[in-house]
Structure 1
Amino acid sequence: MSGRLAAQLKRHALLSPAGLWLALFLLAPLALVVQYSFATRDTGVTHVVLPWTSQAYRSALDPAFLPIFGRTLLYALATTAVCLLLGFPLAWFIARHGGRWRTALLAAVLVPFWSSYLARIYAWKALLDDDGLVNQALAVIGLNADGGFLRTDGAVILGLSYGFLPFMVLPLYVACERFDHRLAEASYDLGHGRISTFCRIVLPGVAPGVLAGSLLVLVPAAGDFVTPKLLGGVDQSTFGSVIDDQFRSGNNWPLGSAMAVLLLVLVVVVLVLRGRRGEDVL
C-alpha cells in the first residue's frame, strides 16, 4: 500500500507544474471571461458593473448575428477543405518520395512560421490590392478586377489557408509516414485502380491524420480575426472580428465575452464530435 501511495504521490508531483500552469493561464482567464459575459455594460472605465445579467447572451444570440456566424463557419470549413486538398498531396509526397530531402522539405513547410503572421497577412494585402502584383499579372490576360481582390470572400479564405496550411501538413505527414504502403501495392495487385485504392485503403489508413489536421485548421480559422480585418471588409466580418470590435471601439466587454464563450462552446462541440469520430475510425 505504501508503495502504491508513493507512486501516486510521484505522479501527482510530476503533473502539478502542468496543472498549475493550466490553472493560472487557461482556467483563470477563462473564468474571468465568463464573469464578464454576465456583467452589465458600462461606458465608463470599468467596462462592467453589477448586477449580473444574461443580456449579453441574448444580444449575442440575436438573429442579426446569424449571417456573421454562418460566414465564420463557412470560412472555417472552406479553409479546412483547401488546406486538405493542398496539404494531403504535399504530405504524401514528402513521406513517400522525400528520401534524403525529407527533413529539408519539412523545414520548408515550417519556414512561414519564422516570420510574423501579421507581417505575412500584410504582404498578402499588398499583393491583392488594386495595384498589387496579382492584379497587375492578371491584367496582362484581361482578368484584373477593379479594386483588386481585397475585401472579397476569396481573399479571406486565401489568407486563412495560407496561414494554417502547415497545421494540416504536419499531422498528415505523420499519418502518411506511418502508413504501410505495401497495402496499396497489394490493392493494385488485386486489380483495384488508383481511385478505388485511395478510397478503400489509403484514406482509411491516414484518417487519424486527416481528422487531426482538420481540427487544427478548423478551430483557429473559426476564431481568427486578423485575416478578415486586413483582407476583408464589412461584408466579410466574422465572429472573431466582431468580438475584437466589442473589446476595442465598441467598448462592450460583456457582449464580446459572451460571444467568445459561445465560440468556445462551438469549439468544444467540434472536439467532442471529433473525438467520437476518431474512436469510430480507430
Structure 2
Amino acid sequence: MAVEAAEAKIAPVSGTGKVDGGGFIQAVTSRLVIAVPYFWLLLFFLVPFFIVVKISLSQTAIAIPPYTPVFTASDGPSGWWANVREFSFDNYLWLTQDALYFNAYVTSVIIAAISTVLTLLVGYPIAYGMARAPQSLRPVLLMLVILPFWTSFLIRVYAWIGILKPEGLLNQLLLSIGLFSQPLVILNTYTAIFIGIVYSYLPFMVLPLYASLEKMDNSLIEAAQDLGCTPTAAFWKITFPLSLPGVVAGALLVFIPAVGEFVIPDLLGGSQTLMIGRTLWSEFFANRDWPVSSAVAVILLIILVAPIMYFQRAQAQAQEAGR
C-alpha cells in the first residue's frame, strides 16, 4: 500500500485526466532546449545561405547593391513574383564554361587533402604522447596545444613570412650551420602554403585525437602484448582503430576550412596561387561581381557538405553496429 501511494504521488496524470504541472513544465523546457540550437542554425546559417543563393541567381548591375533584382517591401507580392521570374542559372553555367573556376576547385581540394594528411602525420604523435603522459602533465600539454589561439591568426601567418623569406630566420639558420650554401626559396610556393596550413590547423587535429586516445582502455594494449603482439602490431590492431573517430573528426576540422582558405595562400603562396578562396575574394572585391562570387560560394559549400554527410552516415552505421 505504501508503494502504491508513493507511485500515485509521482504519477504525471491525475485522476481527473489533467497533466501534472511539473511534467508540463519539463516537456516545455526540453522542447526549448532543442529549439534553441535549431533557431540559432536558422538565423545564422540558413537565412544567410538563402540570401547567398538568391544573389547567385541574380544578374550583375552597376548599382548599390551591385545586382538585380532587389526585393523591397514597397514592391508587394506582385512585384516580388516578378523579381523571382528574373532569376536564372546563368552564373552557374558561366562557372562551367571558364576553366579557371574548375582548376581553382580542384587545386583547393588537393591542397586541403595533402595538408590534412600532413597535419595527421604531425598531430597523431603529439596527441598520442599527450594521452600517454602522466595525468598531472596533461593539462599543461593541452594548454600548450591551444596556446597559439591566444594570438591573432593573421599575426601568426605574418610571422611565417619572416621565417620563410630568403633572408629569414630559417635560411639564416641553415646557412649558419653549413647545410646549404644558398638561401632556399620557400616563400611564395606551395611548400609555404602547406607549412602555414599545418601550423595553423594543427590544434584542430590534435584535440579530437587526444579526446579519443585519452579515454582508451590501456589494458587492451597489455592484453594484446600478453597474447604475443609486438608494440607496433598492437598499435595498428587496437590503438589506431579505436582512435578512428578522432582521426575522422580531426580530418574534417582541418580539411573543410583548408579548402576555402584565403589568408594563408594570399600571404605565403603569392599572387600566382590558384585556390578557390582567393578566386572568390577577387570576384567579390576586385571585380565586384557578387552574383558570380555567390555562385562560387554555393558550389564550395556543396562540396564541403559531402564529407560531412559521409561522416554522419558512418557514425550512424557504427552506432547501429555497436547495438
What TM-score does the superposition give when structure 1 sets the normalisation length?
A: 0.93
Say if 1:229 and 1:237, in contact at 8 Å, map to a contact too.
Answer: no
Paired residues for 1:1-282 under 5 Å: 2=19, 7-50=26-69, 51-62=86-97, 63-139=99-175, 140-142=178-180, 144-145=182-183, 148-281=185-318
User: In structure 2, how many angstroms separate the alpha carbons of the residues matched to 1:202 and 1:196?
Assistant: 10
Say if 2:58 and 2:291, in contact at 8 Å, map to a contact too.
Answer: yes
User: In structure 2, how many angstroms separate the alpha carbons of the residues matched to 1:17 and 1:278?
Assistant: 24
User: In structure 2, how many angstroms separate the alpha carbons of the residues matched to 1:188 and 1:143?
Assistant: 49
Structure 1 position 220, deviation (Å): 0.9
Say if 1:138 and 1:144, in contact at 8 Å, map to a contact too.
Answer: no
Secondary structure of the equivalent of 1:99?
coil
Gaps in structure 1 of 5+ consecutive residues:
none
Change (3 A) 1:98 1:215: farther
User: In structure 1, how many angstroms separate the alpha carbons of the residues matched to 2:95 and 2:183?
Assistant: 36
Bigger Cα displacement from structure 2, 115-124 vs 98-107: 98-107
Say if 2:167 and 2:183, in contact at 8 Å, map to a contact too.
Answer: no
Amino acid at match of 1:48: Y
Secondary structure of the equivalent of 1:236?
coil
Amino acid at match of 2:209: L
> RMSD of the alignment, in Å?
1.9
User: In structure 2, how many angstroms separate the alpha carbons of the residues matched to 1:278 and 1:235?
Assistant: 40
User: In structure 2, how many angstroms separate the alpha carbons of the residues matched to 1:124 and 1:105?
Assistant: 23
Identity %: 33
Secondary structure of the equivalent of 2:272?
helix
Amino acid at match of 2:250: G
Please give the per-residue CA displacement for 1:237-278, whole angstroms capped at 9, x wherever unaligned: 211111111111121111111111111111111101112233
Say if 1:211 and 1:278, in contact at 8 Å, map to a contact too.
Answer: no
Structure 1 position 27, deviation (Å): 1.7
Secondary structure of the equivalent of 2:55?
helix
Bigger Cα displacement from structure 2, 50-59 vs 159-168: 50-59
User: In structure 2, how many angstroms separate the alpha carbons of the residues matched to 1:163 and 1:36?
Assistant: 32
User: In structure 1, how many angstroms separate the alpha carbons of the residues matched to 2:126 and 2:135?
Assistant: 14
Gaps in structure 2 of 5+ consecutive residues:
1-12, 14-18, 70-85
Say if 2:197 and 2:264, in contact at 8 Å, map to a contact too.
Answer: yes
Say if 1:56 and 1:254, in contact at 8 Å, map to a contact too.
Answer: yes
Please give the per-residue CA displacement for 1:12-56, whole angstroms capped at 9, x wherever unaligned: 223343333322222221111111111111233321113322111
User: In structure 1, how many angstroms separate the alpha carbons of the residues matched to 2:243 and 2:68?
Assistant: 51
Secondary structure of the equivalent of 2:186?
coil
User: In structure 2, how many angstroms separate the alpha carbons of the residues matched to 1:256 and 1:143?
Assistant: 45
Please give the per-residue CA displacement for 1:135-175, whole angstroms capped at 9, x wherever unaligned: 222334226446x3111111001101111000011111110
Change (3 A) 1:181 1:141: same
Secondary structure of the equivalent of 2:312?
helix
Structure 1 position 10, deviation (Å): 2.4
Amino acid at match of 1:167: F
Amino acid at match of 1:53: S
Amino acid at match of 1:137: L
Secondary structure of the equivalent of 1:100?
coil
Amino acid at match of 2:107: R
Structure 1 position 7, deviation (Å): 4.3
User: In structure 2, how many angstroms separate the alpha carbons of the residues matched to 1:138 and 1:255?
Assistant: 45
Structure 1 position 188, deviation (Å): 1.4
Structure 1 position 222, deviation (Å): 1.0
